[in-house]
């Protein structure tokens, strides 16, 4: 095998092949339903076998790791030229959330191309990135390109329901797979957002909010519904969750936000006031829905449970709060909730997941920026905080530094964030072509 030590522009015919394969693989991935219903019910077996087959066609062997009934992960290693260098993990997840077909204008598992988009469940979350990864390494095999350092491809199961059969399982039970790898890239980053001013930014995820799902329980005196009861658990709980639901959380600055928001202000010709980002949110269009939640902690009541009969005052009542905290502000969030509900409400943590924040600098970030700039010289890469989380959280338990970088150039009018888990999920064909070229360029330099 010959080694190409200098990275050159791809031949036009290979670019065409790369793009065409990426589109076809994305369609075929969507056409394999890999729905994760939660509570351990999911099936990535067929799609994992498909991924392994596409890799093996070009001589890349992979390991299928079964973690439960039909719960399957795929791991493959691309050896680098310099084995002394720490490696890079490139990962995606194979599962998708359910889709209610009658709500869609197309079959959600058709992968059909219509109006310049590939339609179907998983088109943006995240079979588009899976397709880009697969098509890039297939191209490398055709052109005999060998990366500078080892690259580990991982296609996880169960990302959409807690990762217990995916990244968390592999980190806990197969940590040796990740030995020698120090950095990772995955989903929800590298996509373009066009401001009202016309500036086109590329959001690279360098931080994620943490999670605390809390159960609140109020205890009171049970009794007949017709009696006067000043110790009513339902009333106590209602007051508590009303205070949480109505609380206005203060804005807080993360190190990522201190880069992101001043840049938005600069490009939109406005002043940056950390206490009032409304004018800047208005510049972001559909992205404002998520970005507004990245300057403050949030706590939303989501579930209620009390009583068993209309004329019986129950002795206890409970609620679930979905609270999310910014990196560095978990304790402030917990203290605030405790103060809001008072000492008579019991607080139990049901689910807790860490927040993440990494520096937006270094050779890996430089390679991301260079890849975007090569294919969109007017593009402006910026770091951002994601309101949710990815499999990078599990990898961080092993000390692996992760970013969200699955590059896509999007039409200015597309409400991209609404497509995640949404009806008529779709990805622009031209955006995917841009993405696979940019990802290839990035991975050759990473």
- What length is written for the chain? 446
Alpha helices (runs of H) in 247-329, residue ranges in sequence order = 257-268, 278-281, 288-291
Average pLDDT over residues 222-240: 96
pLDDT of 292 over the 50 cut: yes
Give the angle subtended at the CA of 148 by the CAs of 144 and 152, to the nearest 5°.
Answer: 85
Structure tokens, 45: 């077996």
The domains located in the chain, with CATH, are: 12-188+390-445 (3.40.630.10), 216-351 (3.30.70.360)
At residue 286, the pLDDT reads 87
Q: How far apart are CA 355 and CA 353, in angstroms?
A: 7
Low-confidence winner among 44-53, 163-172, 282-291, 377-386 (lowest mean pLDDT): 282-291
The gap between the terminal CA atoms of the chain, to the nearest Å, is: 21
At residue 8, the pLDDT reads 64
Q: How far apart are CA 88 and CA 364, in angstroms?
A: 9
Beta bridge partners of 117: 114, 428
Average pLDDT over residues 278-286: 92
pLDDT of 376 over the 50 cut: yes
pLDDT of 343 over the 80 cut: yes
Low-confidence winner among 156-165, 370-379, 411-420 (lowest mean pLDDT): 411-420
Helix (H) or strand (E) holding 427: strand 426-428
Residue % of the chain over a pLDDT of 90: 96
Average pLDDT over residues 206-218: 97
> Quick check: 427 and 26 in contact, CB under 8 A?
yes
For residue 262, how many C-alpha atoms fall within 13 Å in the half-sphere facing its CB? Answer: 7
Structure tokens, 108: 């959600």
Q: Count the Cβ atoms, other than its own, within 10 Å of residue 4.
A: 13
pLDDT of 160 over the 90 cut: yes
Q: Which distant-in-sequence residues (6+ apart) come within 8 Å of 240 by Cβ?
A: 216, 218, 319, 340, 341, 342, 345
Share the mean pLDDT of the chain. 95
Q: How far apart are CA 140 and CA 193, in angstroms?
A: 30
């Amino acid at each position: 095998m010959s080694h190409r030590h200098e990275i050159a522009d791809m031949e036009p015919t290979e670019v065409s092949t790369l793009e065409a394969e990426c589109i076809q693989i994305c369609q075929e991935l969507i056409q394999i339903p890999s729905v994760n219903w939660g509570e351990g019910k999911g099936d990535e077996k067929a799609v994992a076998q498909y991924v392994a087959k596409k890799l093996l066609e070009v001589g890349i062997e992979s390991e299928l790791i079964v973690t439960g009934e039909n719960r399957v992960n795929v791991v493959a290693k691309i050896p680098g030229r310099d084995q002394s260098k720490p490696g890079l993990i490139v990962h995606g997840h194979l599962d998708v959330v359910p889709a209610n077909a009658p709500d869609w204008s197309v079959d959600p598992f058709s992968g059909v191309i219509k109006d310049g988009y590939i339609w179907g469940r998983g088109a943006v979350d995240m079979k588009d990135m899976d397709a880009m990864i697969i098509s890039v390494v297939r191209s490398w095999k055709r052109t005999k390109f060998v990366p500078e350092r080892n690259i580990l491809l991982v296609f996880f199961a169960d990302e959409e329901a807690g990762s217990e059969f995916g990244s968390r399982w592999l980190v806990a039970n197969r940590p040796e797979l990740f030995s020698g790898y120090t950095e990772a890239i995955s989903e929800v980053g590298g996509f373009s957002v066009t401001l009202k001013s016309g500036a086109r930014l590329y959001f690279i995820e360098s931080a994620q909010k943490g999670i605390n799902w809390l159960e609140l329980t109020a205890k009171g005196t049970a009794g007949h519904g017709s009696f006067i009861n000043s110790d009513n658990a339902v009333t106590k709980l209602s007051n508590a969750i009303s205070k949480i639901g109505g609380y206005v959380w203060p804005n807080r600055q993360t190190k990522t936000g201190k880069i992101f928001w001043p840049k938005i202000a600069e490009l939109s010709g406005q002043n940056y006031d950390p206490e009032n980002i409304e004018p800047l949110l208005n510049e972001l269009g559909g992205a404002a829905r998520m970005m507004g939640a990245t300057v403050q902690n949030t706590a939303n009541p989501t579930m209620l449970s009390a009583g068993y009969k209309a004329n019986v005052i129950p002795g206890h009542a409970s609620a679930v709060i979905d609270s999310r905290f910014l990196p560095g502000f978990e304790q402030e969030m917990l203290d605030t909730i405790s103060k809001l509900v008072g000492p008579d409400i019991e607080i139990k943590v049901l689910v807790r997941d860490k927040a993440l924040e990494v520096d937006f600098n270094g050779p890996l970030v430089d390679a991301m920026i260079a890849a975007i700039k090569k294919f969109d010289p007017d593009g402006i890469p910026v770091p951002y905080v994601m309101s949710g989380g990815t499999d990078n959280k599990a990898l961080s338990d092993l000390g692996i530094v992760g970013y969200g970088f699955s590059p896509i150039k999007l039409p200015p009018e597309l409400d991209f964030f609404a497509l995640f888990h949404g009806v008529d999920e779709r990805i622009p064909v031209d955006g995917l072509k841009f993405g696979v070229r940019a990802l290839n360029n990035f991975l050759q330099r990473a």
